[in-house]
A and B are shown apart, each in its own frame.
Chain A
Amino acid sequence: MKPESLHALVIDHHLGELPPEAAELLEHHLSAHPAARAEADRLLATLELTRATVMKHPELARDSTPLPAPSSQRLWRTSRLLARVAAALALAGLAGFGGYFAGRSDSPTATTSAPRPGSPWARYRMALDPAGAGWQVVRVETTPHLR
């Protein structure tokens, strides 16, 4: 067994995340391989040291000293549901429309609406990524204009 696999299995077992059958196989492996047992014991000792450190210094595991709830957040809570609905509508609409286009278009590129003559700002077009990663924004080279 590769050391990385052993470490992963030992840690999962230590955290109680191995199914009983896998735990039994791991125990069998450790019994049959003293070197693996020694490595597992070393790893468990390190984990225990870390656990003991955190237990001794609970500050390490605490996120932070809680700040007083800001008044602005109290206000937001009252309208949070409405806001979430609005946000979901907006972003779901965005994703849905983009997805529709990505699935239906026959054209590999498309250009945004033409800016008014003399606009100096960067222009972009959507283009299909040749690597197949979907749509990407491509800067259109601009020619400077003076007004």
Chain B
Amino acid sequence: MKPSRWLLPILLLAAGCYPEERVWWSPKGDQALVLLADGLHLTDSDGRLGEVLTDPALPKDVSIKSAHWLSSGEAFVARRMLRVHSWEEVRARIPATEIREIEVSLPLVAPLLQTAAQLGSEPGALDALTGGLTERQATRLANAVRLLFEREPERVERLLLALPKGLDWVASLRDSGAGYEIDELCQYTLEAGRVSRVHSLRRSLLRPASQPRMSPHHPVLACLVAGEREGDLDLQVLHLQDGTTRTMAQKVSEAYGWTPDGRSLVFLAPLGGEGEKLQSLHRIDVLGDNGVPATSSQPQTLATALVLNRSALQVLSDGRVLFASLPVTLPATEPDAEFAPRLFLADGRSVKAVPTAAGDLPTNLGWFVASPDGRRVAVVESETDAVAVVELATGATRILSPAHPGWQCRTLPAWRSSEELSYAGLTDDVPSLLLWRSDAGTRRLSADWPAESTASWLEYHKEETSSPPAKQP
């Protein structure tokens, strides 16, 4: 008897690097934001690259993590990390509640370090004391240690040096490049290819927000906010007109999206506790018919999925929701059934599988991007650099780029239009930005870019192949 194929997708979730968004085409497709090694740039549809986009007020110590165009095409929302080096700078930027949370933790720092030192020379002494802290409490404590070090460096050094590995702690606090890291969502407004204005929407030292996505038709920004415990995510919306924030759901997965009318959110959430693989696909109203916040909205369950890989969904232009799941009926009676994950479409009344053939989709299915018209979906995986496009109506699958031994995808494809897809592919063994058009083949947009600018878009693992590529970037 063969081992259960149930086990494969679970065990494939080993820690590693995964494909990330690095290219964002504007709504008209006339330009794209590209995240290169030196920062965020604009490029036109022929690959003519602009300068690094910088915040005129903050030219240093800002790293942009992701971007999301507004429907006007004249501005985008970015998630960025701002590193500051003094508590006074932090105080000027973060909410008063977070300031208090950290300052009130200050009296605990010295007793905690003293107690850890008393516990002996075991390397895990401090971990034993702080192991029960939630993610948020640990972040609060780490910032309080930095704050006390800023105020009483000699005292904190003395306390830390009494601990195993205390030298490492002191070195990290003394590091001139280190500091308090503020997570920020900002709106960047563009004029003539340059940033004309940056408007902060949300800042936090303790609860970072990821995947900001603006409603297509309303001034409401959705994002995922780190919850109290590690791995917990809250789905929040920020009403930009009055600055109010609402938590729409807690303990959701990382997969969510707006419906085409921009009034509802669709998300996947584990049915039970952390690590549970059964997930529910929900739709919840954020705004009513008149565009005002919906009150007492109840989520509607669209489907239940068995998600052994990364949670992923996309709301198509016609409102249907594309998601990945194992095709299983519970209770399972056929243990040797085919457990390769598949793509499904849910419309609130039924759930239908995309009719792909065996082998068309990766075992580690979790990274896909639907075209603007919802007819196709681009698929990649983290273990190879292959790129495929699937016709959702027929399941017909076309391989745009084959797997190259040793190379792995680290960049999600991005649709320029319903007929054109950009993706990271190899050109002479150098990761490049390629643009495929359904009726005209593929061309290289990054031909004139420095090779190192896209070097991390694909990753080469020497152990994956017996013969290295001819050359590496």
Contacts and interface: CB of A to CB of B under 8 A. Distances in A.
B108 A72 contact: no
B3 A105 contact: yes
Contact of A57 (B108, B134, B278, B297): B108
Nearest to B300: A75
B8 A137 contact: yes
Interface residues of A, number: 71
Interface in B224-245: 228, 234
B178 interface: no
Interface string A24-53: 000000000000000000110011011001
Interface in A75-107: 75-76, 79-80, 83-84, 86-87, 89-91, 93-94, 97-98, 100-102, 104-105
Contacts of A74: 298
A123 B363 CA distance: 8
Contact of B277 (A87, A101, A142): A87
A72 B249 contact: yes
B120 A7 contact: yes
B383 interface: yes
B194 interface: no
Nearest to A102: B3
Contacts of A142: 384, 403, 405
Contacts of B335: 93, 97
Interface size on B, as a range, is 35 or more
A86 B277 CA distance: 11
Interface string B381-416: 101101010000000001100111100000000000
A70 B358 CA distance: 40
B59 interface: no
B6 interface: yes
B159 to A, nearest CB: 11
A4 B123 CA distance: 12
Contacts of A136: 11
A86 B278 contact: yes
B5 A115 contact: no
Contacts of B357: 116
Nearest to A89: B331
Given A101-B4, A105-B1, A122 B11 contact: no
Contact of B247 (A67, A115, A119, A146): A67
Interface centre among B118, B120, B360, B403 (most CB of A within 10 A): B118
A146 B399 CA distance: 8
Contacts of B331: 86, 89-90, 93
B418 interface: no
A43 B7 contact: no
A45 B285 CA distance: 55
Contact of B381 (A65, A101, A102, A121): A121
B403 A94 contact: no
B465 A122 contact: no
A4 to B, nearest CB: 4
A110 B3 contact: yes
A102 B1 CA distance: 10
Contact of A60 (B4, B105, B228, B361): B105
B138 interface: no
A54 B359 contact: no
A84 B364 contact: no
Given A113-B338, A124-B12, 7 more contacts: A53-B111, A57-B108, A70-B249, A98-B4, A113-B358, A115-B359, A121-B359
Interface of B: 1-8, 10-12, 14, 97, 100-101, 104-105, 107-108, 111-112, 114-115, 118-122, 134, 136-137, 228, 234, 247-252, 269, 271-272, 276-278, 280, 282, 284, 296-299, 301, 304, 306, 328, 330-332, 335, 338, 357-364, 381, 383-384, 386, 388, 398-399, 402-405, 464-466
24 contacts: A4-B121, A7-B120, A46-B111, A46-B114, A46-B118, A49-B114, A50-B111, A53-B107, A63-B134, A73-B251, A75-B282, A79-B271, A87-B278, A90-B330, A97-B335, A112-B363, A123-B363, A124-B12, A126-B2, A126-B3, A137-B14, A144-B404, A147-B398, A147-B399
For the complex of A and B, list the 3 residue pairs with the smallest distance between their C-beta atoms, beginning with the closest.
A115-B359, A119-B359, A120-B386
